[in-house]
Chains A and B, each alone.
Chain A
Amino acid sequence: MKKILLILAITLTSLPVLANDNHRVMDHHAQHEKNQGEMNHDEMNHGEMNHGPEHSHGSHEHPTENAKEDVMTMSAPAITTTDDITAALANGGAPVVVDVLGVVCDFCAVAMNKIFGKREEVSALYVDLDKKTLSLVVNKGASLSDEDIENLAKKAGYRIAAIRRDAEALGG
């Protein structure tokens, strides 16, 4: 038993941070300036992000990006359409696209489906492993805040990099 306790103690003390859940939602549009110190820019594919006209790169550094990637010409992934999503949009639902970090397998998709699918506000959803996005349609008249989405993603075991809504979510 002493040996086991010793091994456990060594393992625990060798971990720099236990259960580091302090990452913030990385809504790249509204909070980039505010949260840039908390973001891991290496993990984020800026080339695929639409930073929006209000985003100013002159005020901070992106040391790992080259100048070409820093030009926000590429559009972010739009909502993935499925029969359910198309029908929900036709019923007046609001489209939301969430860029999700760490989504690499079907278990990730299952977790997101289970957690978000339980919410009454959500009328349709789809996890796209190719785009690394969660496409949602929020029921007409209902709301699902960015904070709600962040918390639900956390319950599923994941983190979000950006949230796009309405025309932007549709690729407009």
Chain B
Amino acid sequence: MTLSAMRTWVAALGILLSVSAAARPVSYTGGWTLLQTANRASTAGLLHYSISHNVSVGVRHEWQRGDDVTLTALQPTLLAKRWYGHNYQANVYLTGGLGTATDRSVASLGSDTASFVGVMTDWETRTLFVSYEARFLEQGKLGNHSMHAARFGWAPYTGDTGELHTWLMLEVDHRKHFDNKTTVTPLLRFFKGPALFEAGYNVTDSAPMFNFTYRF
């Protein structure tokens, strides 16, 4: 299999199985989580293990499609604060990563050390959802990127345990290095047991979004 074919396969997998960082990046003690995202900027996968209820460590692989740059990094995440309510939950996560970025384009600039930091916060009841996340990425000669995204969600019904949960969501993201810096993506979230799937379409930048999370 050629490198190009492999990248196409990874992208396709990411589109089929992808996830938003808004799906909580720390699980229960001893739990594994597969997170994959595909949005207008990148296709990414994160496999992490929660060593406690508030710390996870994982491996991230990301393909920044516009620049044809791949990033592979170790990614720890800290649940810095969780608020527990009778009818709600709110969280603040801090994350970071250190690894290598590689230019895969024909006129390749080679590889460089990459690092990033991020913050994610969310507030959720059984019918309302609000989140915000930001990430700042440095890749040396391969470029630096920043991203901000906010989400608003509403569930038209409250599903009980094990039932299909459905959410209508709207995501607004801002990426300084894109021509369309601020864009809007309406999406649907489906949630059942250990699996979460999201499908949306960026109406500003004409790009699909597919996200997936699985806990085991």
Contacts and interface: CB of A to CB of B under 8 A. Distances in A.
Interface of A: 1, 3-4, 7-8, 11-12, 15-21, 23, 43-45, 101-111, 114-115, 126-130, 132, 154-159, 161
Contact of B86 (A8, A19, A20, A45): A45
A118 B82 CA distance: 24
Contacts, number: 126
A16 B28 CA distance: 24
Contacts of A104: 87-89, 124-126
Given A18-B80, A106-B165, A129 B138 contact: no
Contacts of A45: 86-87
Contacts of B162: 106, 109
B27 A128 contact: no
A114 B96 CA distance: 27
Nearest to B196: A107
B160 A3 contact: no
B165 A105 contact: yes
A44 B86 contact: yes
Interface in B124-154: 124-126, 136, 138
Given A7-B136, A12-B94, A114 B191 contact: no
Nearest to A46: B86
B29 A128 contact: no
Contact of B31 (A1, A114, A126, A129): A114
Interface string B159-193: 11110010000000000000000000000000111
B212 to A, nearest CB: 13
A42 to B, nearest CB: 8
A128 B192 CA distance: 14
B66 interface: no
B86 A154 contact: no
Nearest to B86: A45
A111 B173 CA distance: 30
A132 B31 CA distance: 22
Interface of B: 24, 26-31, 52-54, 78-89, 92, 94, 96, 115-117, 119, 124-126, 136, 138, 158-162, 165, 191-194, 196, 215
A157 B191 contact: no
Contacts of B85: 43, 101-102
B162 to A, nearest CB: 7
Nearest to B23: A107
B89 A102 contact: yes
A3 B29 CA distance: 33
A20 B53 CA distance: 12
A111 B192 contact: no
A107 B33 CA distance: 11
A155 B53 contact: yes
A121 to B, nearest CB: 18
A15 B81 contact: yes
B28 A43 contact: no
Contact of B81 (A3, A19, A128): A19
A110 B216 CA distance: 9
B161 A115 contact: no
